[in-house]
Amino acid sequence: MIESDLDPLEFLPKTGRGVLELIHPVSLKTVDTFLLSQYEQIMSLKVVSLQISEETKRRRFFLAMGTATLRGEDAGVKGNLYVFDISQVVPQPGRPETNRKLRVAWQEEVRGAVTVINELKGYLLSSQGQKVMVRAYGEQDKEFLPIAFFDLSMVVTVASCIRDFVLFGDIMHSICFVGFQVMMTRQMMLIAGGTLSNDSFR
């Protein structure tokens, strides 16, 4: 047995950490940042208008972000779903552009990468692995709670919302058209599906 004085952690791979930056639209300077966890990568990012009151149907704009924590092929993929509120704050002295700040309004860790985020009738639509989830804001819990879900055969890469319908596309160039029912019981229903040729994506 050969003994060594070297630190066993010295030769482990080193990776950078991702960061979300809030950029001023005029000066293009960084106003605020949000540091991601180790091995966490941003997979989806979108400004969404979400309903925050079931009674008045009032909406607010949020910045929604989906991530994936990738730790190698022999470890399961986990994801995080973030909802940021870009709030107004007192700017730093001499820096009037720093009057905005990223505030985490809600966050949840899920199984699978969050590859798609969108808004559906004022609700938050997101994917986690092969499952698509619709969440509504709970005024009492101050959280986005699941109200409907739909299982797909592949990891979703795109979701386009048209009124009460969502067109999903996956990594195998398959598509499916899903309807979302709001009245009575909230649920998602498959309307149509199929496979596109590679020429359709060129």
Interatomic CA distance for residues 71 and 160, integer angstroms: 30
Can you give the pLDDT at residue 42? 95
> How does the average pLDDT of the chain come out, rounded?
84
Can you give the pLDDT at residue 201? 40
171 pLDDT exceeds 80?
no
Can you give the pLDDT at residue 60? 93
* Structure token digits, residue 16: 């950078």
107 pLDDT exceeds 50?
yes
Highest mean pLDDT among 70-74, 137-141, 170-174: 137-141
Residue 84, beta-bridge partner list: 63, 104
Interatomic CA distance for residues 57 and 177, integer angstroms: 26
pLDDT digits (tens, 9 = 90+) for 2-39: 555 656 656 666 777 899 999 988 888 899 999 999 88
| Strand positions, DSSP E, the chain | 19-23, 30-35, 40-51, 59-69, 78-88, 100-111, 117-120, 123-128, 131-138, 143-151, 156-162, 165-170, 174-181, 187-195
Can you give the pLDDT at residue 193? 64
- Domain ranges for the chain, please list them: 19-201
More confident residue, 184 or 122: 122
Q: What is the pLDDT confidence band of residue 170, given thresholds at 50, 70 and 90?
A: confident
Can you give the pLDDT at residue 152? 84
81 pLDDT exceeds 70?
yes
Can you give the pLDDT at residue 43? 94
Q: What is the pLDDT confidence band of residue 1, given thresholds at 50, 70 and 90?
A: very low
In the block, which residue shows the tokens 């990568």?
Answer: 41
Candidates 1.20.58.110, 2.170.150.70, 2.130.10.10, 3.40.980.10; correct CATH number of 19-201?
Answer: 2.130.10.10
Mean pLDDT across the stretch 103-129? 93
More confident residue, 120 or 92: 120
What is the pTM assigned to this prediction?
A: 0.83
Q: What is the pLDDT confidence band of residue 141, given thresholds at 50, 70 and 90?
A: confident
CB 106 within 8 A of CB 143: yes
Mean pLDDT across the stretch 45-63? 92
